[in-house]
Amino acid sequence: MDREGAWARVQGARVARLATIGPDGRPDLVPVTFALRGSVDGAARIVVAVDHKPKSTRRLARLDNIRARPAVSLLIDHYDDDWDHLWWVRTDGDARVIDGPPPAEDLAALTSRYAPYAEHPPAGPTIDITLTTWQWWSATPDSHETRDST
């Protein structure tokens, strides 16, 4: 897998795991829906929405964590019992919380990816992540872990 292959796999994935740094310095990890923005050979971003799915509170730790420490990681992966099909992509970046409704182009990207968002669009806030590095691995014989700074 090369950078284009990693990009395509992230583009096709349905869920990622977002890691932020908590106030105690420990990682906080949550699954998120997302949209990949930008281009494979240019500036890349990922947008994550806070949506209407049930939550115990609207004051989410991930938002507080990002406001305090903007460094984040996202892990996008695929598991299969046929281990020849395993792969993962990790992106690191700098995040910021955008309070209020998502920017129109980000909202369009999210609603086109997820049917529930078309019926009930996320109202915000959103997390905007500027990607700084990519790492990937695939079980295919010609692949190995690679690090690519953006």
CATH number at residue 41: 2.30.110.10
Query: What are 3-50's pLDDT values in tens digits?
Result: 898 999 999 999 999 999 999 999 999 999 999 998 888 889 999 988
Q: Is the residue at 148 inside a domain?
A: no
- Averaged pLDDT for residues 57-85: 91
Q: How far apart are CA 105 and CA 128, in angstroms?
A: 12
In a domain, 145, yes or no: no
Is the pLDDT confidence value at 57 over 80? Answer: no
Does pTM top 0.85 for this prediction? yes
Whether 147 is covered by a domain: the verdict is no
The pLDDT score that the predictor gives to residue 41 is 84
pLDDT digits (tens, 9 = 90+) for 93-139: 999 999 988 999 999 999 999 999 989 999 889 999 999 999 999 98
Question: Tokens representing 19?
Answer: 């890691």
Q: Is 115 within the bounds of a domain?
A: yes
**For residue 144, is it within any domain?**
no
Which residue range is the domain that position 41 belongs to? 3-139
pLDDT for res 7? 92
| Confidence band for 65, pLDDT divided at 50, 70 and 90 | very high
Domains in the chain: how many in total?
Answer: 1
Is 45 within 8 Å of 129 (Cβ atoms)? yes
3-state secondary structure 25-73: CCEEEEEECEEEEECCCCCEEEEEECCCCCCCCCCCHHHHHHHHCCEEE
End-to-end CA distance of the chain: 17
C-alpha to C-alpha distance for 22 and 58, rounded to whole angstroms: 17
- Residue 84 within any structural domain of the chain: yes
In a domain? residue 47? yes
- Taking alpha carbons only, the member of 76, 85, 64, 4 closest to residue 40 is 4
Q: Is residue 93 part of a domain?
A: yes
